Amino acid sequence: MTWLQLFSRALLAALCLAHTASGWASGVSSSVANPLAAPSVVSTAHVRAELLAFAPEGVAAGQTIWVGLQLKHQPDWHTYWKNPGDSGLPTTLAWTLPPEVSAGDIAWPLPHKIAIGTLANYGYEGTVLLPVPLRISPAFKPSSTEALLLRLKASWLVCRQECVPEEAELSLRLPVRGSTVMQGAAFEAARLAQPRVLPASGGQVQVADGALVWRVSGLPAQVRGQTLALFAQEPEIIETAAPMTQSWDGAVWTARVPLSAQRSSAPQSLSILLVREPERATKGADPRNGREGFVAQAQVSGTWPALAVRSSEVSPALSAALQANAQAAQARLSLSAAPVNPSWWLALLGALLGGMILNLMPCVFPVLALKVLSFANHSEDRHARRMNGLAYSAGVVLSFVALGGLMLVLRSAGEQLGWGFQLQSPAVVAALAVLFTVLALNLAGLFEFGTLLPSRVATLEARHPGVNAFLSGVLAVAIASPCTAPFMGASLGLALGLPAAQALLIFACLGLGMALPYLAASWVPAVARWLPRPGAWMNTLRHAMAFPMLATVVWLVWVLGQQSGVDGAAALLALLLGVSLLIWSLTLAGRARRTMVLLAIALLLALLSTLGPWVLKPLDEPDLNNATSSTSSTSSDMRWQPWNSARLELLRAQGRPVFVDFTAAWCVTCQYNKKTTLANPALLADMATQNVALLRADWTRRDPAITAALAALGRNGVPVYVVYKPGQAPVVLSEILSVAEVRAALALP
Which 3-state string (H, E, C) describes 538-572?
HHHHHHHCHHHHHHHHHHHHHHHHHHHHHHHHHHH
pLDDT of residue 530: 63
Residue 655 and residue 516: Cα distance in Å, rounded?
A: 47
Over residues 705-721, the pLDDT tens digits come to: 888 788 778 777 788 89
> Average pLDDT, stretch 195-223?
87
Band (pLDDT 50/70/90 cuts) for residue 433 is confident
For 575, half-sphere exposure in the C-beta direction (CA atoms, 13 angstrom radius) is 29
Band (pLDDT 50/70/90 cuts) for residue 31 is very low
pLDDT of residue 161: 72
Stretch among 30-34, 208-212, 287-291 having the lowest mean pLDDT: 30-34
What is the phi/psi pair of residue 379, to 5°?
-65, -25
Higher local confidence (pLDDT), 110 or 86: 110
The answer to whether the peptide bond before residue 613 is cis (omega within 30 degrees of 0) is no
The 8-class DSSP code of residue 111 comes to -
Residue 667 and residue 483: Cα distance in Å, rounded?
A: 6
pLDDT of residue 192: 85
Is the model's pLDDT at 640 over the cut of 70? yes
> Average pLDDT, stretch 207-225?
88
Cα 614 to Cα 241, 563, 569, 669: the distances in Å are 55, 11, 8, 28
Band (pLDDT 50/70/90 cuts) for residue 67 is very high
pLDDT of residue 145: 56
Position 596, amino acid? M
Band (pLDDT 50/70/90 cuts) for residue 288 is very low
Is the model's pLDDT at 417 over the cut of 60? no
Report the first-to-last Cα separation within the chain, whole angstroms. Answer: 56
Nearest alpha-carbon partner for 430 in 20, 728, 1: 20
pLDDT of residue 376: 56
pLDDT of residue 722: 93
pLDDT of residue 494: 58
Nearest alpha-carbon partner for 360 in 148, 488, 514: 514
pLDDT of residue 411: 57
Band (pLDDT 50/70/90 cuts) for residue 294 is very high
Is the model's pLDDT at 152 over the cut of 90? yes
Is the model's pLDDT at 471 over the cut of 50? yes
226: left (phi over 0), alpha (psi -120 to 50) or beta: beta
pLDDT of residue 253: 92
Is the model's pLDDT at 23 over the cut of 60? no
Kindly list the structural domains of the chain, giving each domain's residue range(s) and its CATH number in brackets, ordered by start.
3-27+332-616 (no CATH), 41-184 (2.60.40), 197-301 (2.60.40), 637-746 (3.40.30.10)
Over residues 492-524, the pLDDT tens digits come to: 655 555 667 777 887 788 788 888 877 777 777
> Average pLDDT, stretch 184-188?
86
Q: What percent of the chain has pLDDT over 90?
A: 16
- Give the number of residues written for the chain: 749
Is the model's pLDDT at 25 over the cut of 70? no
pLDDT of residue 310: 47
Is the model's pLDDT at 422 over the cut of 70? no
Residue 535 and residue 573: Cα distance in Å, rounded?
A: 36
Over residues 134-151, the pLDDT tens digits come to: 999 888 876 655 778 899
In degrees to the nearest 10, what's the CA dihedral of 666, 667, 668, 669? -170
Residue 139 and residue 182: Cα distance in Å, rounded?
A: 27
Stretch among 121-130, 184-193, 516-525 having the lowest mean pLDDT: 516-525
Nearest alpha-carbon partner for 511 in 606, 404, 583, 593: 404
Stretch among 143-147, 333-337, 425-429 having the lowest mean pLDDT: 333-337
Residue pair 86/98 in contact by the 8 Å Cβ criterion: no
Is the model's pLDDT at 426 over the cut of 50? yes
> Average pLDDT, stretch 462-476?
70
> Average pLDDT, stretch 218-228?
88
Band (pLDDT 50/70/90 cuts) for residue 7 is very low
User: Residues of 343-360 as b/e, b for ≥16 C-beta within 10 angstroms?
Assistant: ebeebbebbbbbbbbbbe
> Average pLDDT, stretch 92-96?
93
Higher local confidence (pLDDT), 473 or 288: 473
User: Residues of 547-573 as b/e, b for ≥16 C-beta within 10 angstroms?
Assistant: ebbbbbbebbbbbbbbbbbeebbbbbb
Residue partners of 677: CB distance under 8 A and separation at least 6: 683, 737, 738, 739, 742
Over residues 541-557, the pLDDT tens digits come to: 778 878 877 887 887 88
> Average pLDDT, stretch 276-292?
58
Highest mean pLDDT among 210-219, 336-345, 454-463, 486-495: 210-219
pLDDT of residue 377: 55
* Helix/strand/coil for 651: helix
Higher local confidence (pLDDT), 450 or 62: 62
Q: What is the DSSP string of 579-647?
A: HHHHHHHHT--THHHHHHHHHHHHHHHHHHHHHHHHHHPPPSS--TTTTTS-SS--TTGGG-EE--HHH
Nearest alpha-carbon partner for 68 in 178, 144, 141, 174: 174
C-alpha 495 chain-centroid distance: 18
Residue pair 290/246 in contact by the 8 Å Cβ criterion: no
Nearest-5° angle of CA 94, CA 413, CA 622?
Answer: 90
Higher local confidence (pLDDT), 162 or 454: 162
pLDDT of residue 141: 78
pLDDT of residue 188: 86
pLDDT of residue 630: 39
Is the model's pLDDT at 16 over the cut of 70? no
Cα 355 to Cα 121, 283, 488, 509, 716: the distances in Å are 50, 51, 7, 8, 16
CB atoms near residue 720 (< 10 Å):
26
Band (pLDDT 50/70/90 cuts) for residue 286 is very low
Cα 425 to Cα 320, 513, 577, 707, 732: the distances in Å are 38, 27, 22, 15, 27
Is the model's pLDDT at 108 over the cut of 90? yes
Is the model's pLDDT at 222 over the cut of 80? yes
> Average pLDDT, stretch 664-672?
76
Higher local confidence (pLDDT), 37 or 712: 712
Residue 666 and residue 668: Cα distance in Å, rounded?
A: 6
Is the model's pLDDT at 487 over the cut of 70? no
What is the phi/psi pair of residue 9, to 5°?
-85, -35
Q: What order of strands is seen across the sheet that includes strand 147-159?
A: 92-96, 147-159, 163-175
Band (pLDDT 50/70/90 cuts) for residue 341 is very low
> Average pLDDT, stretch 172-190?
83
Nearest alpha-carbon partner for 131 in 179, 64, 177: 64
Is the model's pLDDT at 684 over the cut of 50? yes
Mean pLDDT of the chain: 75
Which residues are bridge partners to 157 per DSSP? 165
Residue 491 and residue 561: Cα distance in Å, rounded?
A: 31
Q: Determine the number of helices (DSSP H) and then strands (DSSP E) in the chain.
A: 21, 24
Helix or strand holding residue 354 (H, E)? helix 342-358
pLDDT of residue 652: 85
* Helix/strand/coil for 255: strand
